[in-house]
Structure 1
Amino acid sequence: GGVRGAGAFNPETPQSWGARGAGDFNSRTPQSWGAKLDPPQPPLIRGEPYSKSPLLRGEPYSKSPFFKGDLGGSQSLKTRPRGAKLAVTLLEHYGVIQTTALTKAVDQLAERGFLDKTKQKITIEFIRRWLIKRYPLQQEILELEKLGQEQTNPIYQQATTQYQQGEITKALGLYEQVLELNPNHFSAIFALAEGYLECGEFEKAVTYYQRAYKVDQIRNKDGLVRSLINYGNELIKQEAFTTATEQFNQVLNIEPDNLLAIEKLLEIENYLENSERLINNTYPSGMTGEFRDRSNPQNLSQGNWLGKLAAAVAIISLVGVAFYKVSTTCKPAEHKVFGIRTVATDSSQTNTSQSISRGDHSLFPRIDNKENIDRATEAFQNQNYNAAAQGFSQAWQANRNDPEFLIYYNNARARQQGLEPFTIAVVVPIDQSESRAKEILRGVAQAQHQFNNSEGLNGRFLEIAIANDGNDRDQAKTIAQTLVKDKSILGVIGHNSSDASKAALPQYDKAGLAMISSTSTSSDLTSRDDNRNVFFRTVPSNRALAKKLAKHVKTQPGLDKVVIFYDAHSVYSDSFREVFKTNFEDLGGKVFREIELNNPNLNITEQVRSLSQDQVKAAMLFPSVEYRFIALDIAKANANLNPNYKNPDQQPLRLFSGDTLYSEKNLKEGGQALEGLTMAVPWFRKAPDARNFSIAARELWQGEVNWRTATSFDATQAFIQALVQDADRKLVLNRLRNIKLLPNETSGLPLQFNNQGERESEPVLVEVLDGEFKLK
């Protein structure tokens, strides 16, 4: 059928270029080109209800607030057109362009007796009230889009198809054709406004956004501000300071407290004042030319003066980088991912779009405070980053332990700065373990919050894209492929499990995208080419953890004979088993038996009892995340072993493990059965080195944090240290290889990587005593 009105588009139709802008494109089709404007929405530019329109009050247009001053041109009220033209003139304030059909419509209403002789007032009160109820003004304005739909609809649909295929330039040309046929096709206007902003044609973007803003102020406010800022920056570089000033003043008319616009106006003013002083050969201190020349040996010759002028313009241009770097021309078969850089279109990204978010949707199931969260994510989608930041801040204040809200809050702040944010991704296992995912995110969020609160790097803030792979190998690979294609992403923190990391690493390897895992400890994780290594980790490897544990176990009296419980199908678990066994036997110990936790015929009680009878004194619990509950069952079965008359020497096994069981959740579930368990872990909050970070984290999160939070903080700090103003993937990767972070810049230990990307630090031994983790 024909082009349907706003709010009623086919789901496959791109929606809201006007509602989503330069910072928020993803691989899916943009949502809501035809922004939904159904009531209740603040209807008029002045925020007045529909019923206050003079026509609908039964009053002449001259009483409209729009005609009490010069709000659309220099023409005075006395010289403004009357009758039908006056009616249409009112509509122009709502973004409507006068057409012959509109003028004739007013004339016909008058001919049929619905309007008085002035064609400004509805004559029948009943009809006026009926119109107010059934046909709100702004809703009817949007219906103008349907005029001539037999001609416009095929072209509009073709433009949509071109966009979906990545042919942005061709799509924009087709939308222009739609407007030639129907100047009031608002979906095309929204598309053109956002499209030209995306492709860096800021003057055109301003033109279309100004019309879009009249149609719907709320949804197009940020887009108009963004266009004006970008256009103003462009004019500064062209030294068109007067016109640039006009753009920034328009921004202040919309957002009186917009700091970026204020800053730009001050820069222009200061620059012009300094230029005038140079021209007039005077200095603000009243120095004479002679004294100035003594103070500055460089003469202000014409060439030297021009050089200073060029330098000043260059400085302003650098400070005035566009609101986002969207000035790259969109080429065929390319589009903007998250509105930052152009990348080739690939339909595979659509499959992971719901698994990646920067603030447009929550990745965690939400029940409490859902309405407020939905408002914040919707504001983020619509690029109303002020409202998004406020909403996410309120959500976080209501739940100070939730890192997702703090990350999205800082993402919204990053997009308010006027500069393209630095972006890194973090991949967490939400589907498998929400608690583990949040532990990782807390560290990332804390580092991001700290960096952004310090004004970032030259005003550029850090943005975090959160991805959920559920610790699933296939999903991890798919997520990695999607992240690799998004060129705005400078690096990746993740994945959580060693299995997921192993599945994803080849994708990052091929793309030269740095990957820092804060939790994967398998010794098998390494890049294919040591000379082009992209893999790093802030957690000690299994090699370091198992070696530390093996040495400790062997030094304990009578613990020469041990058993290992492990998951044969887990990269992490099998690696830990192998390294521990090698080191323990090198020290003279003996691994009596290796028992697979994933054996369906495993009888835990019988197995534990038989081990005791075989004089085995200690059990090594190296479960994968998936089999941690089996390890807890083993601990409980072991705790139930008591000496009896048949076996007077039967004693419980001493228990040891790696980091898998190191969590408050396991401590609670294991209870008394875990008493005496000794673990080799990457970090312990009560260690002296960790004290400062632990205090800061406790204050931020209103609770204690664990090693995953600490090592994820360190991973984020490593990326932050690797950032430079013109950072790209190659620069970040090269700088990571040489970073050196001091203890006060990390969670407590110095950080630097060796040639294999391993962290050069010593693991920590922790023991469960009196139901608490304590430093061994």
Structure 2
Amino acid sequence: MSQKNETPVLILSLLITAALLGTGFWLLMPRSPVKPDPLATTSQNLSTNDRLSQGERILVPVESRADNPAFAQAKQAGVAAIVAQQYGQAVTQFESALQKSRNSPETLIYLNNARIGSNKSYTIAVAVPVSADPNGSLEILRGVAQAQSEVNQAGGVKGLPLKVAIVSDDNNPEIAQQLANTLVQKPEVLGVVGHYASDVTLAAGSVYNTGGLVCISPISTTVKLSGFGKYIFRTVPSDYIAAGALADYTVKTLQQKNVAVFFNSQSAYSQSLKSEFSRAIALTGGQVSGEYDLSAPDFSAATAVDQSLKQGVKALMLAPNTGTLDKALQVVQVNQRRMTLLAGDDVYAPKTLEVGGQQAVDMVISVPWHINGNPGSVFAKKSRSLWGGDVNWRTAISYDAVQALVAALQRDPTRSGVQQALLSPDFSAMGAAETVRFLPSGDRNVGIQLVKVSRGDRFGSGFDFVPVQR
């Protein structure tokens, strides 16, 4: 397509995007804050210690601070009380903050920690990409906070409560390695939930392996993590599982065999999903006729879609990471539903419903879990009661990671004991929907859930993610 013809299409797409983003919607998944917190520590030039908190500092932006000054004041007062080791006062302030805004997982974690105070406890850490993806960070923290609350309310681990340290790594491999070194050097930390991007988990994972500290990622899916080391695990299925499910659905259910793939060559996750999907689609009798790098300086959604149509492509597989989601959504808009859409789990985001809208309807996405896959589950009921709305797969799978660590600590509350327990053939922990078990590779032995974009009112945007019946 010529530049002259392409420009009006992209301008229209941007105008639609701007209009839709202005509307917003309420439900818990998109409710995660997007406004920076003026009282939170900024990510620039932070020392390693300033990126770690058990309640001594606010790391995570919180929603609508300007609209809820009473919440902000109470939370800040709780942090000040923690610093002064006035734990009773901290409990009072954090409880007050949650009464004013219960959908704040960082506050709940700090409240749980304040209730422990200086008493004996077992400690784990959770690493989140606060500045890079505040929404994703809060989704993870909800799962960790819910699990911590349930464990402590049930009597803790071997009679001792569970304390959680939050770590802010900016989704940066270098920073993650520095923080991993810090955590390894803190003997009280017995396990880590994290990290987010596959590249970041790979970078930090080498440190955890050397230092003998278990790390369980609820998010990283690259196949490179399989067998990466004796201390690296994950509760999310690998790209091998997700890609296989998408390829099988494409060829056998949709009856589409000619596919083009959109990916980010700078992302380990995106590269992994692209490669595994290409392999799987070939094994099921299809073919990948085109590959388009979303990170290329000259990438053009209109040109790529036009080329795909000319090549007889019937389906587009979107494998962006978080950083290239906007470009993938340009593809959705330009495609105008002419070719079937498929996508990896990073496309499962509020922005997809807001920006994609009608053009995203019927797009099939692979995710590890969906709340409507088992709406009557105990986890679903408890999470709705705790947060005031539905949670997504990142929350559920992060919950699973904590439950796995807790089950391992129950067997042997030491670093080596946790690692040995997780690899034991008889190890199991009850997760949000399914039992958590690990293969010798550190991978979880679990399947995948396919969802599609449909009309719906659950999110307030007019669109919804609903499970695909297979």
TM-score by length of 2: 0.84
* Among candidates 306, 312, 320, match of residue 615 of structure 1: 312
- Matched with 2:139 is 439
* Among candidates 436, 451, 454, match of residue 751 of structure 1: 436
Secondary structure of residue in 1 paired with 2:224: coil
> Aligned in 2, Cα 1:690/1:655: closer, same or farther, shift over 3 Å?
farther
> Aligned in 2, Cα 1:518/1:726: closer, same or farther, shift over 3 Å?
closer
Offset, 1:490: 0.2
Q: Quick check: 2:212–2:231 contact (8 Å CA) kept in 1?
A: yes
* Among candidates 50, 57, 64, match of residue 361 of structure 1: 57
Q: Quick check: 1:657–1:680 contact (8 Å CA) kept in 2?
A: yes
1:352 aligns with 2:38: no
Offset, 1:669: 2.6
Q: Quick check: 1:565–1:621 contact (8 Å CA) kept in 2?
A: yes
1:605 aligns with 2:297: no
The aligned amino acid for 1:710 is A
Counterparts of 1:596 and 1:696 in 2: how far apart (Å)?
Answer: 41
> Aligned in 2, Cα 1:633/1:666: closer, same or farther, shift over 3 Å?
same
1:721 aligns with 2:423: no
Secondary structure of residue in 2 paired with 1:705: coil
1:478 aligns with 2:217: no
Counterparts of 1:660 and 1:396 in 2: how far apart (Å)?
Answer: 29
Offset, 1:773: 1.1
Secondary structure of residue in 1 paired with 2:187: coil
1:655 aligns with 2:357: no
The aligned amino acid for 2:89 is A
Q: CA RMSD in A?
A: 1.8
Moved more, 627-636 or 684-693: 684-693
Higher CA-based Rg: 1
Counterparts of 2:347 and 2:371 in 1: how far apart (Å)?
Answer: 16
- Matched with 1:330 is none
The aligned amino acid for 1:767 is K
How big is each residue's C-alpha offset from its partner over 1:620-659, in whole Å with a ceiling of 9 and x where there is no partner? 00001110111111101111x7xxxxxxxxxx11000110
* Among candidates 695, 698, 703, match of residue 384 of structure 2: 698
Secondary structure of residue in 2 paired with 1:552: helix
- Matched with 1:773 is 465
1:541 aligns with 2:241: no
1:500 aligns with 2:189: no
- Matched with 2:124 is 424
Offset, 1:692: 2.7
> Aligned in 2, Cα 1:663/1:475: closer, same or farther, shift over 3 Å?
same
How big is each residue's C-alpha offset from its partner over 1:473-505, in whole Å with a ceiling of 9 and x where there is no partner? 111111111111111100100001101101100
Secondary structure of residue in 2 paired with 1:395: helix
Q: Quick check: 2:404–2:422 contact (8 Å CA) kept in 1?
A: yes
Offset, 1:383: 1.1
How big is each residue's C-alpha offset from its partner over 1:353-390, in whole Å with a ceiling of 9 and x where there is no partner? 11110001110246433332221111111111111112
- Aligned pairs, number: 410
Counterparts of 1:654 and 1:395 in 2: how far apart (Å)?
Answer: 46
Offset, 1:351: 2.1
Counterparts of 1:736 and 1:414 in 2: how far apart (Å)?
Answer: 26
The aligned amino acid for 1:775 is P
The aligned amino acid for 1:755 is P
Counterparts of 1:741 and 1:686 in 2: how far apart (Å)?
Answer: 24
- Matched with 2:284 is 587
Report 1:404-415 matches (<5 A). 404-415=106-117
Offset, 1:690: 6.6
Higher relative contact order (CA 8 A, sep 6+): 2
> Aligned in 2, Cα 1:688/1:528: closer, same or farther, shift over 3 Å?
closer
- Matched with 1:376 is 78
Report 1:162-241 matches (<5 A). none
- Percent same amino acid at aligned positions? 35
> Aligned in 2, Cα 1:515/1:370: closer, same or farther, shift over 3 Å?
same
Counterparts of 2:414 and 2:80 in 1: how far apart (Å)?
Answer: 30
Counterparts of 1:690 and 1:499 in 2: how far apart (Å)?
Answer: 35
Secondary structure of residue in 1 paired with 2:221: coil
Q: Quick check: 2:94–2:107 contact (8 Å CA) kept in 1?
A: yes
Offset, 1:414: 2.0
Offset, 1:527: 5.1
Report 1:257-656 matches (<5 A). 351-365=47-61, 367=65, 368=69, 369-415=71-117, 418=119, 420-526=120-226, 528-529=228-229, 533-639=230-336, 652-656=338-342
TM-score by length of 1: 0.51
Offset, 1:399: 1.1
Offset, 1:723: 1.1
Gaps of at least 5 residues in structure 2 are 1-45, 456-462
Gaps of at least 5 residues in structure 1 are 1-349, 642-651
Offset, 1:595: 0.7
Q: Quick check: 2:421–2:427 contact (8 Å CA) kept in 1?
A: no
Q: Quick check: 1:689–1:748 contact (8 Å CA) kept in 2?
A: no
Q: Quick check: 1:505–1:527 contact (8 Å CA) kept in 2?
A: no
Offset, 1:735: 1.1
Counterparts of 2:255 and 2:194 in 1: how far apart (Å)?
Answer: 40
